[in-house]
Chains A and B, each alone.
Chain A
């Protein structure tokens, strides 16, 4: 590992700690990390969309034309149309002509919505309906073990539960009688589903937290403090203690400010 990589790893460790410092309260270190990631992410997407979007989709297609002929002699000159529409989006900068930006927006929304209707019906609604109508496994109705996912009764719960949950969202008929009973079963299924999704999300976040701690341990602490490690570098220690000094100074300043406020109040 080169010293440059040490430096980057240390900076990554610093921004991780700075972000975690929000658990105490909003502070300058967190604000620094937060504003940095906003700028860097925006810059990253500019570059990605330029190199992977604009260059292959537009520039390469007009590349064999001449700019002084407005690329009309290229092999795909019609690609100048989306470019012009894209530029028209920038009329938003003008108060007088901002209405022109509705034209490219209308094309974008027209294509997007027109595309969404068959695709959503096919990919969400129809696929889920096909899956819901899968054959129930009667030969393995009670399953081979405790709460067997592949058992027949699980298939029935999935089928009935999905219909009951859909009925719960059907508000054109009062939820009374048998209909109300099915709707109540639907909300039970929904609540169990929401609880399971919530628990799953919490565990996913915990996994990310563990991953961050492992990153700090594997890539930073072990190379920074283990002098027997061939990658150990004295500069790393200096950087670490500098960071610690900055953190201590900040905490001392916070305590002093707190004491000063208390003294003024009391």
Chain B
């Protein structure tokens, strides 16, 4: 049951999915789509493991006061506030007590967490009492404030102003900036790595330089030839190299998938 059943399941489902690809019957397609839904649903349930792991690690940092533990609070606030905004939306133009509820919920959960991790009995009591009180305030506001409500079953939360603001003004700017930071690190890495020591390194250096100079406006009439060369390098030798690599990756994936289906590769089961 512990090892044989998973191996059998992988084999049965794996072989079935390969065979159904070549059977253009409506039953086959029905089962194919049904199984695709299965893995989508199982994958989403697995996300809870990731969120638990993030929460567990962050709470551990806060509890043990490890270096930089304060930033774990920022992570937790970002996580739960985003979830709150994703499940709530205004019913009209007024905000009502929307943010009061958010503060009460955040402080309530924080107090309960503090009460749970505190070692002194008196402080634990204060933490639990304050937490329960604040959660009661949150429940009262959620029930009696008509200006906003929870939407678990419909996607109003996705269109809510606060959810979009967090996406547009926090998530996207930081992620884009982090990617743009790589411009500097990749340049310093290139400075160290690109030494024309032999013909291969020289080819690498030359083609990278030509592609990087492609949009340089200071090269005058030479610029046009540089641009054409860069275009040719990207579409001819680069295409040949990419083609070989993509074929290699495809064959590698097929070989690994076969090893998994046949039970040769069992790393996904872990130990025990």
Contact = CB atoms under 8 A, between A and B. Distances in A.
Which residue, of B78, B158, B251, B260, has the highest number of chain A Cβ atoms within 10 A? B78
B254 A112 contact: no
A108 interface: yes
B173 A215 contact: yes
Interface in A25-51: 31-51
A20 interface: yes
A136 interface: no
B136 interface: no
Interface in B222-264: 225, 228-251, 253-254, 257-258, 260-261
A203 B49 contact: no
Which residue, of A147, A191, A203, A211, has the highest number of chain B Cβ atoms within 10 A? A191
A47 B241 contact: no
Contacts of B253: 116, 120, 124
A141 interface: no
B140 interface: no
A249 to B, nearest CB: 17
B213 to A, nearest CB: 8
A44 B254 contact: no
A12 interface: yes
A105 B47 contact: no
A52 B234 CA distance: 37
B182 interface: yes
A234 interface: no
A32 B176 contact: no
Given A40-B166, A110-B261, A189-B240, A124 B246 contact: yes
B121 interface: no
B15 A108 contact: no
Interface stretch (B50-58, B99-107, B110-118, B122-130): B50-58
B8 to A, nearest CB: 8
Given A195-B205, A198-B204, A205 B183 contact: yes
Given A42-B50, A114-B15, A190-B244, A147 B228 contact: yes
Contacts of A32: 71, 74
B86 to A, nearest CB: 3
Given A43-B86, A110-B10, A16 B177 contact: yes
A192 B199 CA distance: 11
Contacts of B244: 161-163, 165-166, 168-169, 186, 189-190
B211 A44 contact: no
A54 B155 CA distance: 12
Chain A interface, DSSP helix/strand/loop, else mixed = helix
Contacts of B184: 23
In which size bucket is the chain A interface? 35 or more
B268 interface: yes
A36 to B, nearest CB: 5
A51 B154 CA distance: 7
A104 interface: yes
A35 B41 contact: no
A92 interface: yes
A99 to B, nearest CB: 5
Interface stretch (A67-75, A78-86, A223-231, A251-259): A78-86
Interface in A145-200: 145-149, 154, 157-166, 168-169, 186-200
A208 interface: yes
Contacts of B234: 196, 200
Interface string B190-214: 1000000001110111111111101
A32 B9 CA distance: 45
Contacts of A196: 207-208, 210-211, 230, 233-234, 237-238
A138 interface: no
Contacts of B82: 39-40, 42-44, 46-47
A171 to B, nearest CB: 12
A1 interface: no
B87 interface: yes
A93 B52 contact: yes
A16 B169 CA distance: 10
A52 to B, nearest CB: 8
Given A47-B163, A113-B261, A149-B231, A195 B208 contact: yes
A222 interface: no
**Top 10 nearest A-B pairs by Cβ distance?**
A39-B78, A193-B241, A43-B82, A114-B17, A86-B45, A110-B13, A161-B240, A47-B86, A199-B211, A124-B250
